[in-house]
Amino acid sequence: MKKPKSRKQVKFSKSIVFSLVFLVLGFILAYSYSLSQAQESSSNFTANSQFEQEEQFREELIEQKERNKTLREEILAKQEQLQDYESSFSDGEEIFGEIASEAEELRRYIGLMPVEGEGLRVVLEDGEYGSQTVNPNDYIVHESHVFQVIHEMYISGAEAVAVNGQRIHANSTIVCTGPVIEVDGVQYPAPFTIEAIGKPEVLIASMELSGGVLDQLVNDNIVVTMDEGLVIQMPALLSES
């Protein structure tokens, strides 16, 4: 107070000191305030968060349960649907199987498939050349004989017939061309092997009817050999021999 200059200096240093003091004071106040605030909020937070979490979990649980329920219902519905499908499939399969077997059967009948089964084999051979006979037509096998045998086979329930290994079908042609016969354009000499798949006993019985085919053939001096109970294999019609 005595000197203006020194007084100014003193005032300046005083204000510096005061500012320092106030800085510390403000810092401490603010820091403790923020600390207590943080503590309070954290304690609040833990309590709240626990509660909220519980609530949240419960809601989630309920949601999941509901979802499970709907999913279960969906599963039941789907299973029912699946059962329907399966039953329809099995029905369809049965039908398909029937159709397929029928188709196969029909294919066998029309000769599109190779077949195998029990049957009868009839071999027609030219008769012995007798001196008392003049006309060779009397002892050679004609296509009519072959026809007779084939017709007899079909009549007595043969499922497939082949001549010398060639399948006979509905439009087959058998033509006599001199000493040989032509089956669907393929020439075969004697002896003629006629194979038929069917019930052998029925086939042979029908052949052996008195006054039947066998008697007629024998009458025409033809040597007939019959093998029954053989397993006969026939190629498909389409396979060219």
- Check residue 29 for interaction with another protein (CB under 8 A): yes
List, edge to edge, every strand of the sheet that includes 160-163: 166-167, 160-163, 192-197, 115-125, 223-234
168 contacts: CB under 8 Å, gap ≥ 6: 111, 150, 161, 162, 174, 183
d(CA 42, CA 38): 6
* DSSP class per residue in 45-63: HHHHHHHHHHHHHHHHHHH
d(CA 119, CA 198): 5
Q: Which of 6, 7, 9, 20 binds another protein (CB under 8 A)?
A: 20
Q: Which of 31, 51, 96, 147 binds another protein (CB under 8 A)?
A: 31
Tokens at residue 113, please? 């498939």
Q: Which of 6, 7, 30, 96 binds another protein (CB under 8 A)?
A: 30
Beta bridge partners of 50: none
Residues between 34 and 73 that touch another protein (CB under 8 A): 34-36, 38-39
Q: Which stretch binds another protein (CB under 8 A): 16-24, 99-107, 152-160, 163-171?
A: 16-24
Minimum separation from the CB atom of position 24 to another protein (A): 6
- Check residue 175 for interaction with another protein (CB under 8 A): no
Q: Which of 9, 19, 64, 225 binds another protein (CB under 8 A)?
A: 19
- Check residue 99 for interaction with another protein (CB under 8 A): no
Q: Which stretch binds another protein (CB under 8 A): 12-20, 84-92, 124-132, 216-224?
A: 12-20
Q: Which of 6, 8, 9, 24 binds another protein (CB under 8 A)?
A: 24
Question: What residue ranges in 74-217 does DSSP mark as E strands?
Answer: 115-125, 160-163, 166-167, 174-177, 180-183, 186-188, 192-197
Q: Which stretch binds another protein (CB under 8 A): 9-17, 62-70, 102-110, 141-149?
A: 9-17
Q: Which is nearer to another protein, 39 or 233 (CB)?
A: 39
Provide the residue type at 237 as one letter.
L
Interface residues toward another protein, by CB under 8 A: 14-36, 38-39
